[in-house]
Structure 1
Amino acid sequence: MVSRPLNHLLLTITNTGSKNCDLTGYPAVRFDGAQSVPPAFEDSKPQAVVTLAPGESGYASVLLSAADGSGSGGRTAKSLAVFFGGGASVARPSLPAQGVYVDDSIGVSYWQSTMADALAW
């Protein structure tokens, strides 16, 4: 079991197809229809492309806010859109009913093969 830091959101993608699927780059996320997507943590870029066999999952984390409260522009987000393939497809996962707190410290990891690697960022 992996502990999730309070100021992180874990994204999980599962290959439901019958062929291997490569996860390249990082997910583009938008909270409440924001105009821009948060930057990726470049240090989280894996050494190799993450390849998912059928039934396997990959992970990315979203740092929602500064842990020490130093982030500015804080607000509660109620919706999330996750874009794949350069925006060719989108998923809209549910957020908790009370929303999630985000601030200008927001960032996202590259896709990882394990939860632990994703949550390290």
Structure 2
Amino acid sequence: MATFIKLEDSPMFQKQVRSLEQNTNELKDRCQKLYRGSLKYMQAIEEAYNGDNIFAESLESFGGGQDDPVSVSIGGPIMSKFVTAFRELATYKELLRSQVEHVLIDRLTQFLSIDLQDAKVIHP
């Protein structure tokens, strides 16, 4: 703090401070929009994950058995491959949802609640 002892409170300095505050507020607005969009995207991924699992279960109950003669006659072994594919897709969607939550949303929350607050200039 000692390096700022001789800092003059000039009109140019005040203009620079206001400019930095404006840029900070614009950054906050943009981050909040990204945060809201990320939450919506995370919810959509979760719904898609659930949909893939439900569909895989219905395929499996319809004809996914390997030993059942009826299942084999309607293409059970091929359906089993689809069941596996849908379960794998669901797994990737859950991983993506988790990454959006932890890498994006958690970091945005940290940035908005702590980092940007620390950057605010307090006026007398």
Shorter-normalised TM range: under 0.3
Which is bigger in relative contact order (C-alpha 8 A, separation at least 6)?
1
Higher helix fraction: Structure 1 or Structure 2?
A: 2
Work out which of the two has the higher radius of gyration on C-alpha atoms and give 1 or 2: 2
What TM-score comes out, normalization by structure 2 length?
A: 0.18
Higher strand fraction: Structure 1 or Structure 2?
A: 1
